[in-house]
Chains A and B, each alone.
Chain A
């Protein structure tokens, strides 16, 4: 691939701007960054608009913007599950998360595991939630780098071996430095720039490319029938229908439980802000839908058959579909804007995820198990160091291990994180479940989910067979049901054994 100087210059200028912004953010709504809730939650002072950008940057990541169109390009209609998935997140966010916000402010909780520790009074249950959160987040950070890698490659910046990874490493050092110094304020300010770029890019692409290709009618006519719609189930199976619906529902539940979603939610200025955002965030879902359609544009256009993109597709497979589409249909400077949108879109969630993982480690492992008398300053310092360690772990992963591992681990991450639902989300409503029953349910769900995923060679969907019928569906959702059943059945047993500690929260803590 030729080095695309124009696109690269635009990309570097925008990247330089957000680097400055990330460091300057430390002074924004100034707080004492030596306190964990200031560094790691922005002082719980983000209003409706900033929360909107932050949660938007969190949920709709660079990887999403590359992988969803890539799935549409490769597989077709199934990729559109991302739309119902990001629709049904919001009713849940609206109803459930204000409760979490209020109880967390009342008791100074910074993580979901903090809440579980207070609610159920069992440090081992809280540890299970903590480890799940950290382990599920790591590959997610790693995948953000894939988005960055693809756009850097698309601008013709390539090299053999280690040299090829240098641009990625530079971007990551910048990310690590401003996260360390500014905490959550850095991704919050950068998210504003990133999202404006994403909106411009998505709408421009959804308007210009269909005109160039001769209208939507022509585009969809060029899509092969097996990719245009989901296959209608034949015989005794619910086929692609149940796979599609369970993927949407399970992904929505999993996403809400990820530590970075918690971090962005808890940084809002009130539970009311969270609710208002539930009505405003679907704007991003609409953009995600437009970006998914780009995969079909690329398919109709046959960009993979153009000789100038052969090298890109060889290197990045279907993930190259969207960059190729931009290079083919837009002038270089605008391709630079689009690539910057995706590249910066990788930094925002990567920063929030590393902060969330750092908060978890510091609060729920370091303070809980190693240093109960930690000062505020030591706590914040520990979290800053952890955010560096987590990010470099992700970097090493991407540079040295095959991409396939990160993708498989991210898939497993969704299955693992959903197992925290009974303790966290059900826990917000009732203390009825016994903490040890929850631990056993969590372990069973995690083990069964991992086993099922491995047995279908790390696909998301498992063909569950019951009484002659097959129900292909998202493993996370199936194993969550197992987890819940075990927790419910074992609760009276564990209560009878007399292991049920105090609840530190009161009913009135859960609303304003």
Chain B
């Protein structure tokens, strides 16, 4: 039975998995303040995190190369 250990695991993947923490830590962002241009924190934080997560994925993409 093989278990495919040959596949190159990259430590950069931890950065990707770390995205789960702010995305799922609901009690952290369930608040109105600090609001931004009238948008409660709950909404603008999650929208901003969309952009941040895409940036992190792009960083990992370039860092891991053509694996």
Residues of A within 8 A of B (CB): 77, 80, 83-84, 87-88, 90-91, 94-95, 99, 215-221, 228-230, 232, 240-242, 244-245, 248-249, 272, 275-276, 278-280, 282-283, 285-286, 289, 293, 429-432, 503, 506-508, 510-512
Contacts A/B (CB < 8 Å), 9 sampled: A84-B24, A87-B19, A219-B38, A229-B42, A278-B61, A279-B61, A282-B50, A289-B47, A503-B1
B42 touches A80 (CB 8 A): yes
Interface residues as binary, B31-49 with A (CB distance below 8 Å gives 1, 0 otherwise): 1100101111011001101
User: Per a CB cutoff under 8 Å, which of A245, A283, A429 touches B4?
Assistant: A429
Residues of B within 8 A of A (CB): 1-8, 13, 16-17, 19-20, 23-27, 30-32, 35, 37-40, 42-43, 46-47, 49-51, 53-54, 57-58, 60-61, 66-67
Take A94-B57, A278-B57 as given contacts and tell me if A429 and B3 are in contact as well, using a CB distance cutoff of 8 Å. Answer: yes
Closest to A249 in B: B24
CB-defined contacts of A99 to chain B, threshold 8 Å: 7
Cα A84 to Cα B47 in complex, Å, equals 9
Min Cβ gap A383→B in Å is 31
Take A83-B46, A220-B38, A230-B30 as given contacts and tell me if A91 and B19 are in contact as well, using a CB distance cutoff of 8 Å. Answer: yes
CB-defined contacts of A240 to chain B, threshold 8 Å: 26
B39 touches A220 (CB 8 A): yes
Give the one of B13, B35, B50, B53 with max A CB within 10 A: B50
For the A-B complex, the count of residue pairs with Cβ-Cβ distances under 8 Å equals 130
Take A230-B26, A286-B51 as given contacts and tell me if A293 and B43 are in contact as well, using a CB distance cutoff of 8 Å. Answer: yes
Cα A289 to Cα B47 in complex, Å, equals 7
CB-defined contacts of B20 to chain A, threshold 8 Å: 88, 91, 249
CB-defined contacts of B24 to chain A, threshold 8 Å: 84, 88, 245, 248-249
CB-defined contacts of A77 to chain B, threshold 8 Å: 30, 42
Take A230-B30, A511-B67 as given contacts and tell me if A216 and B7 are in contact as well, using a CB distance cutoff of 8 Å. Answer: no
User: Per a CB cutoff under 8 Å, which of B16, B37, B42, B49 touches A95?
Assistant: B16
B66 touches A512 (CB 8 A): yes
Closest to A288 in B: B50
Cα A272 to Cα B35 in complex, Å, equals 39
Cα A506 to Cα B2 in complex, Å, equals 7
Min Cβ gap B48→A in Å is 10
A241 touches B30 (CB 8 A): yes
List 14 extra interface pairs beyond A507-B3, A507-B7, CB under 8 A.
A87-B53, A88-B20, A90-B54, A215-B37, A220-B43, A229-B40, A232-B30, A241-B26, A245-B26, A248-B23, A276-B61, A282-B54, A286-B47, A506-B2
B23 touches A88 (CB 8 A): yes
CB-defined contacts of A217 to chain B, threshold 8 Å: 37-38
CB-defined contacts of B37 to chain A, threshold 8 Å: 215-217
CB-defined contacts of B30 to chain A, threshold 8 Å: 77, 229-230, 232, 241
Give the one of B5, B8, B57 with max A CB within 10 A: B57
B43 touches A218 (CB 8 A): no
Min Cβ gap B52→A in Å is 9
Closest to A283 in B: B54
User: Per a CB cutoff under 8 Å, which of B1, B27, B40, B51 touches A282?
Assistant: B51
Min Cβ gap B54→A in Å is 4
Closest to A102 in B: B7
CB-defined contacts of A510 to chain B, threshold 8 Å: 4, 7
CB-defined contacts of B7 to chain A, threshold 8 Å: 99, 507, 510-511
A431 touches B19 (CB 8 A): no
Min Cβ gap A239→B in Å is 10
User: Per a CB cutoff under 8 Å, which of A216, A282, A507 touches B53?
Assistant: A282
Take A215-B38, A216-B39, A431-B3 as given contacts and tell me if A228 and B16 are in contact as well, using a CB distance cutoff of 8 Å. Answer: no
Smallest CB-CB A-B distances: 5 pairs: A217-B38, A216-B38, A91-B16, A282-B54, A279-B57
Min Cβ gap A398→B in Å is 32
Cα A83 to Cα B54 in complex, Å, equals 13
Cα A248 to Cα B47 in complex, Å, equals 15
B19 touches A88 (CB 8 A): yes
Cα A135 to Cα B6 in complex, Å, equals 36
User: Per a CB cutoff under 8 Å, which of A244, A272, A503 touches B26?
Assistant: A244
CB-defined contacts of A94 to chain B, threshold 8 Å: 16, 57, 60-61
Closest to B60 in A: A94
Cα A84 to Cα B5 in complex, Å, equals 31
B66 touches A272 (CB 8 A): yes
Give the one of B3, B13, B54, B67 with max A CB within 10 A: B54
CB-defined contacts of A83 to chain B, threshold 8 Å: 46-47, 49-50
Cα A508 to Cα B26 in complex, Å, equals 40
A87 touches B50 (CB 8 A): yes
CB-defined contacts of A218 to chain B, threshold 8 Å: 38
Min Cβ gap A79→B in Å is 11
Cα A84 to Cα B46 in complex, Å, equals 7
Cα A368 to Cα B27 in complex, Å, equals 49
B61 touches A87 (CB 8 A): no
Cα A275 to Cα B62 in complex, Å, equals 10
Give the one of A87, A249, A506, A508 with max B CB within 10 A: A87
